[in-house]
């Protein structure tokens, strides 16, 4: 069979070209990151919550819990919580940003316009928060390029994962597409609850946070982001000055807050302050209880150490006392322990001797039984049998008591009733004159 190589090469080339065109078509169908739609599950959730995908949004940030909330307007005109995102990283500590380079994430009320959206950010996608605002500038605070962005890296910004940053960018983009001219960001140190306010009441920024809480309360009461102005170097919320303008560095013009809103906010403030005071009192009580428990524990520790020291001192005193008694009885410290003196058996007497120590024993030792008196017959055997050799008796002139006093062992206990004495390890009964006869 003849192979037609030119035809085969032509068909192979056509296949390669077709594959390349298909790949190019697939690549071109991939939308740029800034144009990607919101995830389908989030879009479905908006429908269930009676929200338009292009409806207005606003954002709340809570540093302490590292949370970013997206709220979206429902068709009723009020806002509802759509989703909470974890903040991957934020830099600094609780408190406002003060100066350029302090690596501190801002706190306050900020506004984001379409011009602050950055689809070409080196941190995936980003939008500028709007720091410094009029309030920050009135207080001489400096800084620039403070963003919410991706890449999970922060130097004064609020950094998200790329996935979260993409969703936030899409939600903001769609709201602008629906006609929203700017959306509000409320950046708080923590959730502005009475418990948190009480916990942080001693912070140097507490007065500033109380002012932020007023704006928070306006939203909590109305479920609508408040209108924010700055005058006299402070925030004012939902203020109507009758057409007069607000200046951040000059005194506030006469203004009014809608009466019902004013009453509702005042009632919430009073209720929250009561809870703050109750929480402060509870925290103080718990601190007192903890201090008292610590004091009691310290006293117990000191008492235990004192008892242990007294016990050790008593032990050392006993050891020293034993050494003194040992020296008193002619023994060194190593020999001051109780010792046992045993009787050597003589003749047919094999009675066991109770130990005799330098101190009185627990029970009075029982002396061995006195040997029976030897009869005259046994003392003088008949002539037919050889007479045994008897040891010479001690001289009758000697006093046995004096002899025993001179030869008494130092181990003898003075407290033991005097029933006899050891003389050269032989027991001498009182009244014996050393003779075998009675």
Task: List the catalytic residues.
Answer: 149, 157
Q: Which residues contact 211 (CB under 8 A, 6 or more apart)?
A: 234, 235
In DSSP terms, 117 is beta-bridged to 127
Q: Which element (helix H / strand E) includes 197?
A: helix 194-199
- What is the spatial distance between Cα 246 and Cα 239, in angstroms, rounded to a whole number? 10
What DSSP assignment string belongs to 311-322? HHHHHHHHHHHH
Q: Which residues contact 26 (CB under 8 A, 6 or more apart)?
A: none
Structural tokens at position 397: 């002139």
Structural tokens at position 30: 């991939």
Q: Would you call 183 helix, strand, or coil by DSSP? A: strand
Placement of tokens 């009561």 in the chain: 274
- What is the spatial distance between Cα 254 and Cα 239, in angstroms, rounded to a whole number? 9
Q: Which residues contact 292 (CB under 8 A, 6 or more apart)?
A: none
Alpha helices in 251-345 (DSSP H): 259-328
């Amino acid at each position: 069979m003849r192979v037609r190589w030119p035809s085969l090469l032509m068909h192979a080339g056509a296949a390669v070209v077709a594959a390349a065109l298909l790949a190019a078509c697939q690549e071109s169908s991939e939308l740029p990151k800034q144009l990607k739609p919101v995830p389908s599950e989030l879009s479905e959730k908006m429908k269930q919550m009676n929200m338009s995908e292009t409806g207005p949004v606003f954002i709340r940030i809570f540093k302490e819990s590292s949370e970013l909330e997206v709220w979206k307007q429902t068709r009723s005109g009020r806002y509802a919580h759509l989703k909470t995102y974890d903040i991957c990283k934020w830099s600094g500590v609780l408190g406002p940003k003060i100066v350029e380079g302090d690596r501190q994430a801002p706190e306050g009320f900020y506004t984001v316009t379409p011009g602050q959206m950055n689809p070409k950010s080196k941190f995936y996608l980003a939008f500028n928060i709007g720091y410094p605002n009029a309030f920050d500038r009135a207080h001489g605070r400096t800084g620039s390029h403070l963003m919410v962005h991706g890449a999970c890296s922060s130097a004064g910004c609020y950094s998200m994962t790329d996935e979260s940053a993409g969703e936030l960018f899409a939600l903001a983009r769609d709201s602008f597409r629906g006609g929203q001219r700017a959306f509000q960001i409320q950046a708080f140190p923590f959730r502005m609850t009475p418990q948190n306010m009480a916990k942080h009441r001693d912070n140097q920024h507490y007065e500033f946070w109380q002012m932020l809480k007023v704006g928070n309360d306006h939203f909590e009461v109305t479920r609508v982001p408040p209108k924010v102005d700055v005058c006299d170097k402070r925030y004012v919320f939902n203020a109507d000055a009758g057409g007069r303008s607000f200046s951040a560095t000059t005194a506030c013009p006469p203004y009014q807050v809608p009466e019902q809103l004013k009453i509702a906010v005042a009632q919430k403030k009073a209720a929250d302050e009561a809870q703050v005071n109750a929480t402060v009192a509870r925290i103080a009580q718990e601190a007192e209880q903890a201090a008292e428990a610590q004091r009691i524990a310290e006293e117990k520790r000191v008492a235990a150490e004192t008892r242990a020291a007294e016990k050790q001192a008593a032990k050392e005193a006993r050891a020293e006392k034993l050494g003194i008694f040992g020296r008193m009885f002619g023994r060194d410290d190593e020999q001051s322990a109780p010792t046992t003196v045993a009787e050597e058996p003589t003749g047919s007497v094999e009675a066991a001797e109770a130990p005799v120590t330098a101190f009185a024993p627990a029970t009075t030792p029982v002396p061995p039984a006195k040997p029976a008196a030897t009869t005259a017959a046994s003392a003088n055997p008949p002539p037919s049998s050889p007479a045994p050799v008897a040891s010479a008796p001690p001289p009758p002139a000697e006093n046995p008591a004096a002899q025993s006093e001179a030869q008494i062992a130092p181990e003898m206990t003075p407290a033991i009733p005097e029933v006899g004495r050891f003389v050269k390890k032989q027991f001498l009964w009182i009244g014996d004159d050393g003779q075998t006869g009675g």
